[in-house]
Amino acid sequence: MTHDPFSSDQDLQALKQRLEALETQQQADQQRHQQAMTLFSEAPAPYLLLNSSGRILDVNSAASGLMGREKNVLLGKSLVQFLAPGNQGSFEQLLKQAAATGLRQRGEAQLLHQDGTPFDMLLDLDAPAADGDAGTFRVVMTDITAYKQAHRTLLDANASHEQAIQDYSMRVRVLNQELEQIVTVFLQQLHLPTARAMNFLGLLGKTLNESAAEVAHPLLNSERAVQQVIALLASMDRYMQVRSMRLRLRTVDLNSVLDDVLKKAQPQLVDRSIQLSADRLPSVQGDTRALYVALDELVGNAIKFTRHRDPARIRILARETATEHLIGVEDNGAGFNMRQKDKLFQLFGRLHSSKVFEGTGVGLVSVRRACERVGGRVWAEGKVDQGATFWFSWPKEPTIWE
C-alpha cells in the first residue's frame, strides 16, 4: 500500500484553516466579552452580577458608587448583608422566584450605605439567559429614595389634611348642636308670651266693647298677627324636631301613614268639595315619624292651595325606580311658576301672598330635611292656575345621614 503525500498535505491544510478559524472566533469572543465587560463597568446604570446564592460576582462603577463601597470590598460578599434587616428575607425570596420561573422579578429594598444610612432602591433581577452562565443573575438598581420620601411626605400631608377635616367637622357638628339647642329653647320660651298675648287681646276686646268698629278692626289685626306668630312657632318646632329626631328604620306601610294624615286633615275638609284619591302606596324601610311629616305637609299644602277650586282634586301618586320609591301629591290648585321652583324648598320661601294663602314657608323645608336624612330628594312641578305636583323620593335601601 502506497502513501499519498498530496492527500496528507490537504488534510494538514484543512486542519490549519480550522485552527485559524477557531483562533479568530476565540479572539472575536474575547473582544465581545471585553466590550460587554467595558459596557457593564462603564454603564451609567448601577449593575450587579450575582450567583444563585446571592453573592456578588461583579459590580460596575455606578453600583459601587451608589453603595458607597469599593469594588474589591463588594466582590464575593452576599448582597443580603448590605440590605436593611427587614428586607433580607424578601430579597432571598425574590432570588428564588427568579431562579424557579426564569422570569424577571422586581422588588423594593432598603440598602445600607457605608455609614449605615438606609436608602430606598428598586431592584430588577434578570434570570440567566438560555445562552448565558447558569446560575448568574444581573441586578439593575434604581435609587428611588427621593420618590419614596415624596410619597411619604404626601401621605403625611394627606393624613394631616384628613385629621384637619375631621377636627373641622367635629367643630361644625358641635356648633350645629349648640345652635339647635339655642333655637329650640328660644321657641319654647316664645310659646308662653304669645299665648298670653292672645288671651290679653281677648280680654281687651271684651273690656273695650269689640262691637265698636274703631276697636274691632285693630284688635282683629292684632289677633291675626299673633296667630301668625303662633303658626310660625309651630312650623319651626316641627322643623327642629325633624332635624334632631333619632331615625329608626323599619318596615312602614305608607297606606297606614296616609290614613293618619287624612284623619288629622278632616277639620280642613268640612264644607269642601274635594275629590281625593290615592294609588296603592308601598311599604318602605323608613322612619314612621319622618314619613308622616312628609305626607302631612304635602297633603296639607294641596288642601290649602285648592281652596278656590270646586271641585278640588287631590291625588296621591306612587311610582318607583330600581333604587327609589317616588311619592307625589298632585292637585288642581293655584300652581306656581316653574322659574321660581328652587325657592319652594328654601326656609321661609313663599311664592304666594300671605293675604291669599296662609303659611310660614317652613313646611316644605321640613319635608326636604326629612327626606335628605335618609338620602332622599324633593322636587315639584307646576303651572300657574293649573295645579302642581310635589314629589319626594325614598331610597329602597336608606342610609341615615345625621
DSSP assignment of 290-353? HHHHHHHHHHHHHHHHTTT-SSEEEEEEEEE-SSEEEEEEEE-SS---GGGGGGTTSTT--SS-
Same domain, 259 and 351: yes
Same domain, 73 and 107: yes
Q: Assign residue 98 the CATH number of its domain.
A: 3.30.450.20
Report the C-alpha gap between 384 and 374 in whole angstroms.
32
Same domain, 257 and 352: yes
- Nine cell digits for residue 381: 312641578
**Domain ends where: 244, 261, 291?**
244
Same domain, 119 and 216: no
3-class SS of residue 385: coil
Considering the domain boundaries, does residue 148 fall inside one?
A: no
Segment holding 365, helix H or strand E:
helix 363-372
Q: Using an 8 Å Cβ cutoff, are 230 and 258 in contact?
A: no
Report the C-alpha gap between 58 and 65 in whole angstroms.
14
Report the C-alpha gap between 350 and 361 in whole angstroms.
5
Same domain, 240 and 251: no
Q: Using an 8 Å Cβ cutoff, are 146 and 130 in contact?
A: no
If you ran DSSP here, which 8-state letter would residue 245 be given?
-
Considering the domain boundaries, does residue 289 fall inside one?
A: yes
Same domain, 262 and 326: yes
Contacts of 159 by beta carbon, 8 Å cutoff, 6+ apart: none
Considering the domain boundaries, does residue 362 fall inside one?
A: yes
261-271 burial: b if 16+ Cβ within 10 Å, else e:
bbeebeeeeee
Report the C-alpha gap between 165 and 196 in whole angstroms.
47
Report the C-alpha gap between 236 and 232 in whole angstroms.
6
Contacts of 242 by beta carbon, 8 Å cutoff, 6+ apart: 290, 293, 366, 369, 370, 373
Report the C-alpha gap between 332 and 274 in whole angstroms.
11
**Domain ends where: 92, 109, 143?**
143
The Cα-based distances of 362 to 251, 273, 278, 358, 379 in angstroms read 28, 27, 25, 12, 15
Helices (H), 43-136: 61-67, 71-74, 85-101
Considering the domain boundaries, does residue 10 fall inside one?
A: no
Q: How many domains does the chain have?
A: 3
Considering the domain boundaries, does residue 161 fall inside one?
A: no
Report the C-alpha gap between 224 and 379 in whole angstroms.
31
Same domain, 132 and 183: no
Q: Assign residue 277 the CATH number of its domain.
A: 3.30.565.10
Q: Print pLDDT tens along the chain (402 aa).
A: 555 555 667 777 777 777 777 777 776 666 665 555 555 666 678 888 899 889 999 898 888 888 888 889 899 999 999 999 889 989 999 888 888 888 889 999 999 888 888 889 899 998 764 444 557 888 999 889 888 889 889 999 999 898 889 888 787 777 766 666 666 666 666 777 777 777 777 777 777 665 556 666 677 777 777 777 777 777 777 777 777 778 899 999 999 999 999 999 998 888 889 999 999 999 999 999 999 999 998 999 899 889 889 899 999 999 999 999 999 999 998 888 888 777 887 766 666 656 656 666 677 888 888 899 999 999 999 998 889 999 999 999 998 876
Residue type, 84: A
Range of the domain at 193: 166-244
Considering the domain boundaries, does residue 5 fall inside one?
A: no
Angle between helices 288-305 and 363-372 (to 10 degrees): 150
Same domain, 279 and 391: yes
- Residue 131: its pLDDT value, please? 45
Considering the domain boundaries, does residue 394 fall inside one?
A: yes
Torsion angle, alpha carbons of 113, 118, 124, 129, to 10: 40
Same domain, 257 and 214: no
Same domain, 295 and 226: no
**Residue whose cell numbers read 345652635:** 179
**Domain ends where: 143, 177, 212?**
143
Same domain, 188 and 46: no
Report the C-alpha gap between 297 and 378 in whole angstroms.
12
Same domain, 256 and 209: no
Report the C-alpha gap between 197 and 329 in whole angstroms.
37
Considering the domain boundaries, does residue 77 fall inside one?
A: yes
- Residue 2: its pLDDT value, please? 54
